[in-house]
Structure 1
């Protein structure tokens, strides 16, 4: 045994020495390279690039009352999951043409493929997860100018707000405000739509307008709700969706490279202050019963928002910075529309259904609804040498206050968190605490708040 250990120790010392020799001989430029990019011309203006993102969650959740996990009642759950695992492949292949692809999976934890999340009769399969999020080709009309770009394909180019098309590798908080991805996995594919669009930057104005071909709700992978007195997405008819977003940029311009995606925080690298306004509209998108159950009433989808975004250094010498967002969202899905959602829900069922609504178990809360939402977030980047070579910290807070027609009173969801930026967004740990309400249904169909629950999440993100 001692001889075997001696051999391993000797081998290890040789490997370490060889690695040190290799590192010392490696060119400085190569050792500092932090992107996978292949230049197609000498200047690098034509290129192809690959990125990888993985976000791992360790989570402790207080379940909503009545929650079950694989038919076993659970007041609390602990789970491990992959919130996002993605790869991007994109490039400016000549002066005018950009191609962009994104492939990956989302919300992968122990109950993926569990039967309750499949349409009746569909076999469960935990291996069926990864899919193309984006597949886009885009034409830049003027060489080296961002005045007008025309594109099409499966894309996240959206209206409504910056958080309807978030760059998830750079977000301030542990997760994005998903309510802003207003039709996510209902009539789109994880917020992506088959669209043609025009986008660009002219002076301080950043704009994007799109015409989208929404998916029928029948293809969402879940059994659609039955036609009833409250609005749900219609099972009959098909109409195009129109959307747009305008940003007025007072200082630095935001990146305009990838189609749609907007940065969460620049970590003090830019001085950004924007005002924004956006909308989404679709004819006869939802339906409900009228004065009698035999009557069917169709309603248009009309969503709009206004917001301000601030992200800038406070002291360039020390590297401190502030990031803030405040937005108002006016959301009209139709009469009393309400949808629960729980991010990577750790529960699989409930013994306490709420007013005919689905997915009310686990960490779910009413995330989407007809009414209004005020959303805000605030973060502060500490000095760059706060932890020496171990990086720095960025605490944050976020609040989402909903006033939905079907809920009596306002509803608040609040989060506090701390980012440990080991290497910026490329390697970071985030600890997040979220506090949310849970509800009971009244005979009228309205919902009343009954109490509150919390969830702790530790996320590790690696991005290159």
Structure 2
């Protein structure tokens, strides 16, 4: 009997304190390996995968209009031996499809890579400090978005405002602090900027490039600074981990207003009179998040809106990034129903991006529906997205997701 009890303790399910599976009647918190009777010493393991099938009517004539994509395949582990410190490791891959597959699985697109790896020390019950490859970002809620429980098919791309420019896939190497002051939650970080970012264009007259580290050196352009602050008016959200919940499916009543920033002194460079001149990168945002049950029948409402000011340097424009402004919002409604059965959540999203360097605005409209078969742990998402940026393109995507 004693051996059976020990085995039960070791392989028992985690309490709902960490990464609760919103709306799942089956998951019960997931797998937590306990190393003591009270569960204060533990190892938590999470695995998830998102697989997509898309139809793109605007595909080139020589390409198929349908395609398949392993959007994400991830494993995350974190552990505490005492409540004073924590270690987290997160690895996986993204967007594995025909173009990134390799014959023997040795190509760059086929490789697992490190998303997060940080250590954290708890100064008190409410305040912590940590360091490593981390996701305690600034700017907005969506720049800290979890990929486990998004309401839309995927995150708003322009909200991940520094991917590949100053960081590795939205993660920086550096030092962070986070905590709570009453109903106010905060996170701040100082980080090293990546030295081989995506924007490898040459610095030429009339073109601003995000290459301050390479062209000016790490002494002048090597550090970035970020912060995000939000006031929780209703129920308190967990800030145990940095990943923000997309929709609670009515399991919490939350109303938060937030504001954040990202600063990279001399992050960009322009050429003046033949000389490289540093341009400060500064991004600011305000946002609001509201998630609430509507009555006792299982229906729920999720609403989010943000305004973001992007300054990557004078007339900067590269891929999804550009100096200018962005407004984005989405709204979703969960129909009433039994949580043990499939629940439906139609949603609508819209983003508008304006750029100083062009008169063309980027307008992105998304119309979709989620079918939650076991909360976020097993769901299907169908979304139609139209993007108008000089020309109009559209696609329909079906995604299946499971996480354990």
Same fold (TM over 0.5): yes
- Partner SS, residue 169 of structure 1: coil
| Structure 1 length-normalised TM | 0.76
Aligned 8 A contact 2:96 2:110 in 1:
no
Q: State the 1:336 CA deviation.
A: 1.5
Q: What whole-Å deviation, never above 9, does each CA across 1:331-387 have from its counterpart, x for those lacking one?
A: 0001121122xxxxxxxxxxxxxxxxxxxxxxxxxx2210000010101111133xx
Structure 1 pair 139–389 and aligned structure 2 pair: CA distance change class (3 A): closer
Structure 1 pair 174–140 and aligned structure 2 pair: CA distance change class (3 A): same
**4+ runs of 1 displaced by more than 4 Å?**
29-34
Tell whether 2:393 aligns with 1:453: yes
For residues 406-417 of structure 1, the aligned pairs below 5 Å read: 406-417=357-368
Q: State the 1:34 CA deviation.
A: 5.1
Q: Which residue of 1 aligns with 2:32?
A: 37
Structure 1 pair 241–112 and aligned structure 2 pair: CA distance change class (3 A): same
The CA distance in 2 between the partners of 1:261 and 1:195, in whole Å, is 17
Aligned 8 A contact 1:323 1:378 in 2:
yes
Q: What whole-Å deviation, never above 9, does each CA across 1:28-87 have from its counterpart, x for those lacking one?
A: x988755111123322233221001100010112337xx5xxxxx547632111111101
The CA distance in 1 between the partners of 2:38 and 2:181, in whole Å, is 25
Q: Which residue of 2 aligns with 1:97?
A: 85
User: What is the number of residues matched between the two proteins?
Assistant: 373
Structure 1 pair 403–257 and aligned structure 2 pair: CA distance change class (3 A): same
Q: Unaligned regions of 5+ residues in structure 1, if any?
A: 1-25, 68-72, 115-123, 341-366, 439-448
The CA distance in 2 between the partners of 1:428 and 1:336, in whole Å, is 41
Aligned 8 A contact 1:62 1:76 in 2:
no
Structure 1 pair 319–46 and aligned structure 2 pair: CA distance change class (3 A): farther
- Partner SS, residue 86 of structure 1: strand
Tell whether 2:289 aligns with 1:313: no
Q: Which residue of 1 aligns with 2:21?
A: none
For residues 379-418 of structure 1, the aligned pairs below 5 Å read: 379-385=332-338, 390-418=341-369
- Partner SS, residue 161 of structure 1: coil
Q: Which residue of 2 aligns with 1:248?
A: 231
Tell whether 2:125 aligns with 1:135: no
Q: Which has the larger radius of gyration?
A: 1
- Partner SS, residue 142 of structure 2: helix
| Structure 2 length-normalised TM | 0.87
The CA distance in 1 between the partners of 2:312 and 2:300, in whole Å, is 38
Counterpart of 2:247 (choices 246, 265, 277) is 265
The CA distance in 1 between the partners of 2:27 and 2:358, in whole Å, is 53
Counterpart of 1:333 (choices 312, 315, 337) is 312
Aligned 8 A contact 2:199 2:210 in 1:
no
Aligned 8 A contact 2:71 2:94 in 1:
yes
Q: What whole-Å deviation, never above 9, does each CA across 1:404-426 have from its counterpart, x for those lacking one?
A: 11221533111000000000000
The CA distance in 2 between the partners of 1:312 and 1:251, in whole Å, is 10
The CA distance in 2 between the partners of 1:336 and 1:97, in whole Å, is 44
Counterpart of 1:286 (choices 268, 282, 294) is 268
Q: Unaligned regions of 5+ residues in structure 2, if any?
A: 1-7, 14-25
